[in-house]
Chains A and B, each alone.
Chain A
Amino acid sequence: MQKVEPFLLSGNLAIAYAIKQLNVDVVSAYPITPQTTIIEKISEYVAKGELKANFMLVESEHSAISACLSAAASGARVFTSSSSQGLLLMHEILFITSALRLPVVMVVANRSVSAPINIWNDHGDIMPQRDTGWIQFFVESAQEAYDKVIQAYRIAEDHQVRLPIMINMDGIVLSHTYEPVYPLSDSEVASFSPWNLSLKRLDPDDFLTIGGFCYPDYYFETRYQSSKALEDSLPIISKVDKEFGKLSGRSYGLVSPFKCNDADTILVSMGSISTTIRATVKKLREKGEKVGMVSLRLFRPFPLNELIKSIKNAKAIGIIDRALSPGAVAGPLFTDVTSALYLSKMSIPAVNFFVGLGGRDVKIEDIENMFVNLKKIPTGKIKKHSYYVGLRG
């Protein structure tokens, strides 16, 4: 591997750079904070001729995802990106993209949803997309965002997968923060994720019908088929990540446990907050506290076995949700993790921490407090299962 100098890039610019190297054919997107600089940068690459692509400027996110879907069906490599309300507007088409098995790649700069309107980060926009049948990654840095975009095309376009992929990157926190990013060379990217015409479906020389109507006698099988494909993509996601590691020296795993082996209390999280938790765990470990954390790099398909392996020895678990699920038993990630525990016949006590909504800062002290509360659980003194960290009142 040749030695390269890092670029100083924000998450958004790192993604745009990857898209240029991936030689994407069609980009269609609509501006929304905090995703906007991705598409501004791509527009610039296209205008300068550095990326030979058709940048389709649409009148809404609904049209952006619709155009990406049909462009992918026409054999083009496509990219889109959105956030918050824009992602909600795409919602309808997300289900169709996965059921029609089209390899669309989208970056979501995660942001809260209205009302009230707020442009800062949480996971309120992505949680309603859980069941859309897309592969969903969560990244923790601009470097990981760059790396995951390159991996994503390889995975999405794999003939056994043929599914759309969403890469979730915390808005503002990652999208707008500059950090050193080590890029691959153009030729490394091209050979790692080569474009493949055989994915083309709308071909006059071999016509077929996509997306018609069916009665109850075919619907269940069709939906199961794409759901099963999502489940079966897990080993391929792992394989691509490992191969990427060989090429770049960086691989991420499906989950990334830290100090979990002997930890009594463990926090489970996704996205950029994991960096703060990791720092807190380091600090508490220095004080001799037996704490650990695990971050989910992949959310769908849910990496059940990998997660259980890392939390199985804990005495108490805290699960961090950055979105509310009003009226539900608990937050979305809590529900997944506790279901995983149940299916693994494990009854580790768990509590749900709701934090960082609408860009509310989560400090090291907040995380330390979570561990303090977790420590009390085995004593039986904790009766609550939900904490709204930092909520006034």
Chain B
Amino acid sequence: MGRLPKWNEMQEGFITKTLSESINKTGTWRTFKPIIDYSRCTKCGWCVIYCPEPCISFESSGDGKVVIDYDFCKGCGICAEECPIKCIDMVMEE
């Protein structure tokens, strides 16, 4: 981020419209990284709906596979824990 705004450059009344997804990449928090085994994934959606960020979604193009946005994933491991067929592995970040 560049220089901080002066008092008169901030919107009056302590208002903001800037979304966290545009500037706050929480993926740096991660210690363990979830890796999906696509050969086994059934696209059931449990990981998609339980992700607290949310940063897991069905890809809108192609075959609609489940994708994790690692820019935001904090590595909590709920997706791996809740996956009914256990096709997500939590792997130590390098």
A residues with CB within 8 A of B: 99-102, 162, 201, 207-212, 214, 217-218, 220-222, 224-226, 228-229
Contact = CB atoms under 8 A, between A and B. Distances in A.
B17 A100 contact: no
B85 interface: no
Given A222-B10, A225-B10, A217 B15 contact: no
A159 to B, nearest CB: 9
Interface centre among B7, B10, B13, B15 (most CB of A within 10 A): B13
A31 B74 CA distance: 51
Contacts of A211: 14
B5 A221 contact: yes
Which residue, B5, B6, B14, has most C-beta atoms of chain A within 10 A? B14
Given A217-B4, A221-B5, A209 B10 contact: no
A212 B16 contact: yes
Contacts of B10: 218, 221-222, 225
A218 B5 CA distance: 9
A145 to B, nearest CB: 28
16 contacts: A100-B14, A101-B12, A162-B13, A201-B15, A208-B15, A208-B17, A209-B17, A210-B13, A212-B14, A212-B16, A214-B14, A217-B4, A218-B10, A222-B10, A225-B8, A225-B10
Contacts of B13: 99-102, 162, 201, 210, 226
A220 B17 CA distance: 20
Nearest to A211: B14
Contacts of B16: 208-209, 212
A28 to B, nearest CB: 20
Interface of B: 4-8, 10, 12-17
Contacts of A220: 7
Q: Could you say which of A100, A102, A217, A221 has the most chain B C-beta atoms within 10 Å of its C-beta?
A: A221
B12 A162 contact: yes
A208 B38 CA distance: 38
Residue among A102, A225, A229 having the largest count of chain B Cβ atoms under 10 Å: A225
A99 B14 CA distance: 7
Contacts of B17: 207-209
Given A162-B12, A220-B7, 4 more contacts: A212-B14, A222-B14, A225-B7, A225-B10
A360 to B, nearest CB: 41
Contacts of A210: 13-15
Nearest to A207: B17
Contacts of A100: 13-14
Contacts of B8: 225
A231 to B, nearest CB: 13
A101 B13 CA distance: 5
Nearest to A212: B16
Nearest to B8: A225
A47 to B, nearest CB: 34
B1 to A, nearest CB: 10
A48 B44 CA distance: 59
B15 to A, nearest CB: 5
A6 B12 CA distance: 42
Nearest to B4: A217
Contacts of A212: 14, 16
Closest 8 CB pairs of A and B: A101-B13, A221-B7, A208-B17, A224-B7, A100-B13, A225-B7, A209-B16, A222-B14
A167 to B, nearest CB: 22
Contact of B7 (A101, A162, A207, A228): A228
A224 B5 CA distance: 13
Contacts of A101: 12-13
A99 B12 CA distance: 9
A386 B41 CA distance: 83
B5 to A, nearest CB: 7
Nearest to A209: B16
B6 A221 contact: yes
Contacts of A228: 7
Nearest to A228: B7
A221 B7 CA distance: 5
Contacts of A222: 7, 10, 14
B2 to A, nearest CB: 13
Contacts of A208: 15-17
Nearest to B16: A209
Nearest to B11: A208
A217 B5 CA distance: 10
